[in-house]
């Protein structure tokens, strides 16, 4: 297997891999494109990003068969650059989850070991890149959903600064956190994709006016003298010993290239999970109220009151994790509880953001693990939602702070499971993050390894 550069190569790989991994909810007979920067490179789009071709379901029964009248901004930009959109990638329903097991249309398996999860929520996008079904993919993050599956599947995954990429056409989960990001086999390919999709968009008021950086160029920059902070809290309780070993070795390798490594403290790391889940679920509960069963969802119910209609449509249309989000979020926002939960979480979020701003006064980038453990067995966390949430402990801080972060492969465990190195930069400092990750990648050959067809 190798990285596909044409629609035909992608089609062959999809035919070989899909029966084993189920990375796609839908594939297209995309025409070969010869022009543009991407000149026909096959790309997968996470299915919570709308396309006017095919369907957009966000892996939810609620939106089964939904067809969007327009393309998301990122999709328009990719098509303009000559991308061949070959399919819509699987995800956890409405991007809620960390394993793609919450998809209403079946789990995406990890190409490195099909008894394990691909991570989430952009598991389909990650597995499609890892297996060589596509050259690149677009995922989305609210809390780690690009970096988490990228790490578990052994590909590069980037979460840009909040506001760097337009959210127009991205199905909302937590609007103060949502951001689309690229996935690819190499740091430079991911940098190129970000250069294409980034930029201000009048259709998204939160998209930034800040000029787009030269991300591809940044990949060839020397990192001598770059200051890299390593937060000790990222190696706390629950860290898998092999993950710790590989990530510490990766940091050593950056040091060998002239980077200056300093231990730092991010004391609020352990607060990130409760703060993130309160804020994300609160925002989700309001965003999901639009799925009222009148415009979308199962309308096959007659002679009932409006309330009964809602109960029927939402009861049938939403899966367990989405229902949990609505319950948790509605509770955190309800009168009498909003001060104790949502407002309190928002205050701690500000403290987390400040802690990152302080840290970046002393260092250029922060490096550490992406996930506490490698890909876990399918089914192993489904009975305990809290265990699933803990998979996000090291990814959600960057979302809360709004800063850019990526995952780059840094080796394999003794069970041949990929592990990612996380590189985090300050707001709109994506270039530094790409320089560090690309410098690391140049010294290793992890990105040249492909999983074997089961
Ligand atoms: N596990 C996270 C959640 O369910 C993933 C969110 C995301 O980044 N889409 O909230």
Average pLDDT, the chain: 97
pLDDT at 9: 97
- Separation of 1 CA from ligand 1 center, angstroms? 30
Residue 68 has a CB neighbour count (10 Å cut-off) of 18
Residue 322 in this model has a pLDDT that exceeds 70:
yes
Q: Name which residue sits closest to atom 1 of ligand 1, judged by CA.
A: 97
7-267+351-448 topology per CATH:
Amidase signature (AS) enzymes (3.90.1300)
The pLDDT of 210-218, averaged and rounded, is 98
pLDDT at 118: 98
pTM: 0.98
Residue 377 in this model has a pLDDT that exceeds 70:
yes
CA distance 362 to 382: 41
Q: Which residues lie with the beta carbon below 6 Å from any ligand 1 atom?
A: 95-98, 121, 141-145, 173, 280, 392
User: Is 47 within 8 Å of 59 (Cβ atoms)?
Assistant: yes
Terminus-to-terminus CA distance in the chain, angstroms? 12
- Separation of 98 CA from ligand 1 center, angstroms? 6
CA distance 13 to 332: 45
- State pLDDT tens for residues 101-121: 999 999 999 999 999 999 999
The pLDDT of 214-233, averaged and rounded, is 98
Residue 257 in this model has a pLDDT that exceeds 70:
yes
CA distance 310 to 433: 46
Question: Ligand 1 test: best mutation among 46, 59, 97, most atoms within 8 Å of CB?
Answer: 97
Strand partners, 202: none
- Separation of 286 CA from ligand 1 center, angstroms? 16
The pLDDT of 246-256, averaged and rounded, is 98
- State pLDDT tens for residues 141-174: 999 999 999 999 999 999 999 999 999 999 999 9
* CB contact burial 30-39 (16+ within 10 A = b; e otherwise): beebeeeebe
CA distance 186 to 439: 11
pLDDT at 302: 77
CA distance 449 to 372: 23
- Of the two residues 409 and 309, the one the predictor is more confident about is 409
User: Is 295 within 8 Å of 312 (Cβ atoms)?
Assistant: no
**Catalytic site residue 145?**
yes
pLDDT at 117: 98
C-alpha 211, offset from chain centre: 23
Q: How confident is the model at residue 1 (pLDDT cuts 50, 70, 90)?
A: low
> Where are the strands (E) in 222-266, listed by range?
227-231, 260-264
* CB contact burial 386-396 (16+ within 10 A = b; e otherwise): eebbbbbbbbb
CA distance 284 to 261: 39
Which helix or strand (DSSP H or E) is residue 367 part of? strand 365-369
What phi and psi values does residue 330 have, to the nearest 5 degrees? -65, -40
Q: Which two tokens stand for residue 31?
A: 């025409």
């Amino acid at each position: 297997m190798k990285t596909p550069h044409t629609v035909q190569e992608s089609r062959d790989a999809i035919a070989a891999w899909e029966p084993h991994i189920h990375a796609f909810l839908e594939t297209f007979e995309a025409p070969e494109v010869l022009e543009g920067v991407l000149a026909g490179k096959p790309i997968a789009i996470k299915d919570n990003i709308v396309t006017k071709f095919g369907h957009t379901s966000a892996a939810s029964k609620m939106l089964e068969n939904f067809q969007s009248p327009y393309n998301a901004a990122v999709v328009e930009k990719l098509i303009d650059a000559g991308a061949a959109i070959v399919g819509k990638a699987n995800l956890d329903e409405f991007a809620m989850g960390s394993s793609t097991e919450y998809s209403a249309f079946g789990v995406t398996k990890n190409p490195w070991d099909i008894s394990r999860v691909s991570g989430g929520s952009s598991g389909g996008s990650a597995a499609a890149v890892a297996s060589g079904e596509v050259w690149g993919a677009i995922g989305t993050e609210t809390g780690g959903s690009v970096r988490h599956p990228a790490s578990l599947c052994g590909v590069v995954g980037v979460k840009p600064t909040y506001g760097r990429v337009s959210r127009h056409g991205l199905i909302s989960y937590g609007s103060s956190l949502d951001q689309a990001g690229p996935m690819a086999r190499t740091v430079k390919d991911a940098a190129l994709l970000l250069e294409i999709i980034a930029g201000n968009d009048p259709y998204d008021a939160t998209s930034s006016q800040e000029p787009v950086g030269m991300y591809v160029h940044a990949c060839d920059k020397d990192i001598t003298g770059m200051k890299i902070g390593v937060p000790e809290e990222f190696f706390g309780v629950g860290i898998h010993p092999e993950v710790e070993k590989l990530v510490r070795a990766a940091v050593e390798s950056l040091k060998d290239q002239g980077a200056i490594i300093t231990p730092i403290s991010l004391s609020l790391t352990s607060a990130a999970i409760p703060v993130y889940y309160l804020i994300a679920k609160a925002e989700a509960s309001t965003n999901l109220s639009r799925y009222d069963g009148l415009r979308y969802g199962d309308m096959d119910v007659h002679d009932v009151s409006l309330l009964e209609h809602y109960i029927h449509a939402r009861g049938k249309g939403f899966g367990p994790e989405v229902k949990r989000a609505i319950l948790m979020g509605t509770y955190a926002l309800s009168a009498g509880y909003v001060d104790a939960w949502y407002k309190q979480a928002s205050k701690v979020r500000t403290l987390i953001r400040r802690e990152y701003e302080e840290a970046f006064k002393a260092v250029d980038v922060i490096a550490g693990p992406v996930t506490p453990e490698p890909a876990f067995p399918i089914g192993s966390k489904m009975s305990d939602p809290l265990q699933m949430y803990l998979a996000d402990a090291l990814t959600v801080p960057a979302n809360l702070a709004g800063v850019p972060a990526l995952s780059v492969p840094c080796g394999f465990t003794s069970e041949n499971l990929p592990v990612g190195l996380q590189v985090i930069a300050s707001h709109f400092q994506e270039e530094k993050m790409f320089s560090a990750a690309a410098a690391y990648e140049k010294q290793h050959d992890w990105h040249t390894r492909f999983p074997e067809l089961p």
